[in-house]
Each structure stands twice: as structure tokens, then as C-alpha cells.
Chains A and B, each alone.
Chain A
């Protein structure tokens, strides 16, 4: 959190820095009231996530490590040849995504950023979104930031996109006419049938969901909720998902990354 405040102080300049820090703190839920979905789980599921030998997400992490070191594309280069040891070069990276991508003038999420690298530096085709390979590489890169505080959203160029994400979060939609906020801000901790509603902090993606029997992205999870309220989900890769992720990650600023998390 100190780093975050420092970043704002630098951009805001001398006189206004303190005021901006205070208003930021008020706009977001106080850290003491923010809870990861982890805290709503049974002790058994929590233990499954915390033990690398029982966490099924670690299978994807291992596969991602193999992909990291594998030569690919016309250039025959592996990720490791440019980036070196991921434990060093990728440390903290997933904790700050989505980031502003100058190439498009828009925010980009980690999965799409991996695909940009594949195209420009490996000269090969992108992995399909939600493919096993792309989830595996994302999980491996995410794993390098496990336990680190989320820092997404410090770049001022992200502000209008984050604001749009918040609008989407608060927009009622679907035949059942629910916004994300209706449940995850106003009714977290209550039960929707058998499920306890969490606060929707995306602290562990990609994550292993027992309901999926597999690893999935935040986009997949957002689609689940949209289908639940009988709304038309956006296609994978849509700008709306990136903006929602940007808003949610900024909202979770300071919370530790858990990738690969386990959820019911």
C-alpha cells in the first residue's frame, strides 16, 4: 500500500497528494472489510488451495513452465530466452494487470499480452482465449506474484477505462435485472441458494473452480454470472471484460494475489 500512495503522491504533486490519498481510501471499501473469496470457503477447500501438492491449479502451472521454456514460432525462441528466469522477470507482473498498452491505446489483460508477445517476438499464432495453453502460461506467470499485493490501476491513462468498468459493474442487466453490485457489494455474505456470495475480488485468476473441474479465467467467471442473470454474455476477449477486470483489480488493490486459487 505504501507504494501505491507513493505513486499517487508523485503524480499528484506536492500540495494535492494528501487529499487524493484520503479520497481514494474513502471511495474503496476499507481494507479491513475486504475479503477474498478464499475466506468464504470451507476449511477443506482452503487447505486444497494452500497445499501445492493438492492444488489442482499447480498442474497448469507446471504445464505453463514447460511452455515458458519451449521454443516456439518461426523465430524458434522461447519465452525464457528473452525474459530469463520467470521467478525474477515475472515477479509482480500479474499483480499489476491489466495495464495500459501503448500499441492499442487501451488496457490489455495478461492473456492477450502473452499473445501479443507470441506474435511479435515468436512470430507464431496466438493461443485461442481460454485454451489450455494460454491458461497454463497465465497460471505460471501469475504464480510468480503469489502473495504479492495487487497494484493494478496506478497508471492514470487507465482511469477512463476503469470508470467504464465500474459503470458495467453497476449496470443492471439481463432478464432478471441484476447488476454485479446488487449481489457483490450489497449482499455479500448472504446465501444465493447454496452459495455464499463473495465480494468478487479477482485475486486468484486463472483459478481452479470445482464447478468447472478445470482452470478458467476471470472472463469465464464473468460469463457465468451474466448467464445466471439471463444476460447476453460478451464474446471472449471483449473490451468490456478487460474494463471490468481493470475495475475489479483496482478495487482489490493491496490484496495479495493467490494464483492459482481454488474456488467452489
Chain B
């Protein structure tokens, strides 16, 4: 099962999207950073609260007292670093569809199987590999549950 997932991920990410680096899915996680290096949590926090880049707070609330108008379509990000491992968080951000085809979580680092992508957004993922790693690094620090 895991091997099949790995193969699928490699095939589809290479065939469909040249700008997306290949990654390896093991079970429900991507254990190795997309860039080969850990991200920067401070930069990750800035992306998470940025409503043009990360867009996270449109749907999620979280421990960001300075941020008004946080959404409630998706789970609170408080304590997310205790609920999921780094590798699990990475796959959830990269392409949550691989875990749950019915998810409304956007695929942040995938370009396959998308329909009618706007002209300004074509041929690029929502976040770069570096940005994904920054966000992962930040989310793993959210270990306090409300």
C-alpha cells in the first residue's frame, strides 16, 4: 500500500507538474523536507497569517491573538503540532487530497487534476517548496492546546 502510494506520487508529480519537485509519500506522511532542509518557523508564521499567501485563517482559527476575523470551516490550529507529526503535516499541506479526496483543504504544492485555474495562477503551486517547509516548521511549534 505504502509502496503503491509512493509510486503514484512520484509518477503524477513528475508527469503533471515540472515545477513541483518529486517527493515521497510514506503511509500518511512525507517524512523528508521538500527542500532537503528544515524551514524557518518565523517565516512560516508570517505565511500562515498572510491572507494572500497562506490563506490559512480564511478557514482555520489559531493562536494568533492579533489576527481579527479567523474562519471556522476547518479545525483550530492550536495544538496541531501535537496532533500530527512533521511528515503528516507536510503531506496535509502539499496535497490533502491524497488523504481524503473530499477534503476542502487546497492542495498547496500540487498542480495536477485542477480545473480552470486562473491565468495568473497557472503552472505554479500555491506555495513554493521553501514556503511549505517554513509553514511545516511553524506548525510543529504549535503544541499548546487551548
Contact = CB atoms under 8 A, between A and B. Distances in A.
A175 B121 contact: yes
A175 B126 CA distance: 7
Contact of B118 (A174, A177, A192): A174
Main secondary structure of the interface of A (DSSP, over half): loop
B76 to A, nearest CB: 13
B17 interface: no
Quick one: which of B72, B73, B97 has the most chain A CB within 10 A? Answer: B73
A175 B106 contact: yes
Nearest to A194: B69
Interface string A222-235: 00001100111100
Find the residue from A175, A186, A192, A227 having the highest chain B CB count within 10 A. A175
B72 A173 contact: no
Contact of B116 (A193, A194, A197, A232): A232
A187 B117 contact: no
A232 B55 contact: no
B116 A174 contact: yes
A174, A177, A190, A227: residue with the most chain B Cβ atoms closer than 10 Å:
A177
Interface string B28-54: 000000000000000000000001000
A131 interface: no
Given A176-B106, A177-B107, A192-B59, A232 B70 contact: no
B118 A230 contact: yes
**Which of the four size classes fits the interface of chain B?**
20 to 34
Contact of A227 (B57, B59, B97, B118): B118
Interface in B101-133: 104, 106-107, 114-121, 126
A231 B118 contact: yes
Nearest to B115: A173
Contacts of B58: 192-193
A25 to B, nearest CB: 26
B130 to A, nearest CB: 18
Interface in A182-203: 182-183, 186-187, 190-194, 197
Contacts of B114: 172-175, 177
Contacts of A60: none
A117 B122 CA distance: 40
Contacts of B118: 174-175, 226-227, 230-233
B104 A178 contact: yes
A190 B73 contact: yes
Contacts of A89: none
B73 A192 contact: yes
Contacts of B120: 230
Contact of B71 (A182, A190, A232): A190
15 contacts: A172-B114, A173-B116, A173-B117, A174-B114, A175-B106, A175-B117, A175-B121, A177-B106, A177-B114, A191-B69, A191-B71, A193-B69, A230-B118, A232-B116, A232-B117
Given A175-B117, A193-B71, 17 more contacts: A171-B115, A174-B114, A174-B117, A174-B121, A177-B107, A177-B114, A183-B73, A183-B104, A187-B73, A190-B73, A191-B69, A193-B57, A193-B58, A193-B69, A232-B117, A232-B119, A233-B118
Interface of B: 51, 55, 57-59, 68-73, 97, 104, 106-107, 114-121, 126
Q: Which 5 A-B pairs have the closest CB atoms?
A: A194-B69, A175-B121, A176-B106, A173-B116, A230-B121
